[in-house]
Structure 1
Amino acid sequence: MSDELATPEKVWAEMVRGNERFISGTPRHPRQDVERRHHVAAGQAPRAALFGCSDSRLAAEIIFDKGLGDLFVVRNAGQVSSDSVLGSLEYAVAVLGVPLIVVLGHDECGAVKAAIESVGPDAPLLPVHIRTIIDKITPAVRAAGADAHEVGRLHLRDTVREILENSELITDAVAEGRLAIVGANYRLAEGRAVPDLVIGSV
């Protein structure tokens, strides 16, 4: 289980400080040594869960300057909600006791670009499993048009809403004050994770 003193506010503040170190080029690379590896071999007690895009430029432990065992990370292309994602996040909350879920989108997202292209009259036929991902993003395209930044922002909000709508366990944890959710967009060039919405108290 996670540290009993790890409140949503405290853990988000830690995430922000780590991201600031990464932005400034002064990361500490904490808890990445042999001693830490041996310490976490017997069990995990992550400080937060992070659900983000699979994009290779979005390595969660690096951009938040975290170490082994600090983050419970769930990733897929376009950070689209699914049963496996919800099950993983519920495990992080119910079993590991994390007080914070960060849902992380980013600019220049290939899945967002593909979703925008998919609604055009000459849209290419996508492989079935890629289509399943893209279909989760097209509602944001229909709402925002071809503005990739706004599509990404709306999709991030849709993803957080879907998590809450489909997980009573997560919704209850937020209502009880044990959990908060931060939806943030990561700026690739700058390296900054910018909060867009907060559910709960941080």
Structure 2
Amino acid sequence: MCFKCNSSSLSRRSLLKFAGIGGVAAMTAGFGMTMPAFASNAPALLPDEALAKLQEGNKKFVADAEACAANISKRRQDVAKSQAPWAIVLTCSDSRVVPELLFGGVTLGELFVARNAGNVVDIDVLGTIEYGTEHLHAPLIVVMGHKRCGAVSAACEVVSKGTKLDGSIGKMTQPILPVALAETDRGDNFVDKTVHANAFNGAERILTESAIVYRLVEEGKVKIVPAYYDLDTGVVDFLHKV
């Protein structure tokens, strides 16, 4: 599924919301354009080229994870003064999910990564993604959930068992609760199905809540793709057809 297709079916209320956001954007455009992007002059990839590069990298990781090494010292010098990331990855903070490794040893300056427990789309994530797309010109946004996600599991327990989560963890998982509530299968696959649905939901929210990303998707400059990482096999399943 490509989320560009969803743009034509946005509700009238969503479009009015974009109009409001656009007004704010117009008032702050001067400030935004003065932000130092530090983008390099490297040739940009098309969205599908960036996606294919991630897919090939994941195949390399699955085939021989130990081969995913890079000359970090030289690369650090190459990108010290500028960057041109070709993909943005929103994923979970889980210590077993390391995008730079599982996409084939991607090195410094290639991925623009945002992480939190449950790969939740919040204001910090949206701002990060907008900067990565508009100022650094990354053509691809991947929202990647993963197998046995603790944050999603916690949200599912709230829904199925009425568990109360203390502290900020409860607030953090709130955006996942509607996704879990929408799942009718509360059996053994409840958590896994919610992980998949949460990735789709995150991708949709980026499109509908960011006027900047919406415009770039409409112009064909950016693609948003939900994904699922299997901790056991190392395979990343991109949840749409290219």
Secondary structure class of the residue paired with 1:102: strand
Question: 2:178 aligned with 1:135, yes or no?
Answer: no
Consecutive unaligned residues of structure 2, counting only runs of 5 or more, are: 1-38
Cα RMSD after superposing both structures: 1.7
Which structure is larger by alpha-carbon Rg, 1 or 2? 2
> Is the 2:44–2:86 contact (alpha carbons within 8 Å) kept by the matching residues of 1?
no
Partner deviation per Cα, 1:141-175 (whole Å, 9 max, x = no partner): 11114311111111111111111111011011011
Secondary structure class of the residue paired with 2:240: strand
1:46 to 69, 72, 85: 85
Amino acid at match of 2:81: A
2:141 to 81, 90, 101: 101
Question: 2:103 aligned with 1:64, yes or no?
Answer: yes
Displacement after TM superposition at 1:30 (Å): 5.6
Question: 2:158 aligned with 1:118, yes or no?
Answer: yes
Partner deviation per Cα, 1:96-117 (whole Å, 9 max, x = no partner): 0001111110110001110111
Question: 2:201 aligned with 1:158, yes or no?
Answer: yes
Aligned equivalent of 1:24: 63
Aligned equivalent of 2:76: 37
> Is the 1:32–1:68 contact (alpha carbons within 8 Å) kept by the matching residues of 2?
no
1:9 to 21, 45, 48: 48
CA–CA distance in structure 1, aligned partners of residues 204 and 63 of structure 2: 32
Alignment TM-score, normalising by the size of structure 2: 0.77
Question: 2:114 aligned with 1:74, yes or no?
Answer: yes
> Is the 1:31–1:68 contact (alpha carbons within 8 Å) kept by the matching residues of 2?
no
> Is the 1:45–1:96 contact (alpha carbons within 8 Å) kept by the matching residues of 2?
yes
Displacement after TM superposition at 1:4 (Å): 3.4
Question: 2:130 aligned with 1:87, yes or no?
Answer: no
Displacement after TM superposition at 1:31 (Å): 4.5
Higher strand share: 1
CA–CA distance in structure 2, aligned partners of residues 179 and 122 of structure 1: 39
Displacement after TM superposition at 1:32 (Å): 3.5
Partner deviation per Cα, 1:49-101 (whole Å, 9 max, x = no partner): 11101111110000002011110100000001111100000000011000111
Secondary structure class of the residue paired with 2:239: strand
Aligned equivalent of 2:23: none
CA–CA distance in structure 2, aligned partners of residues 169 and 74 of structure 1: 17
Identity of aligned residues (%): 35
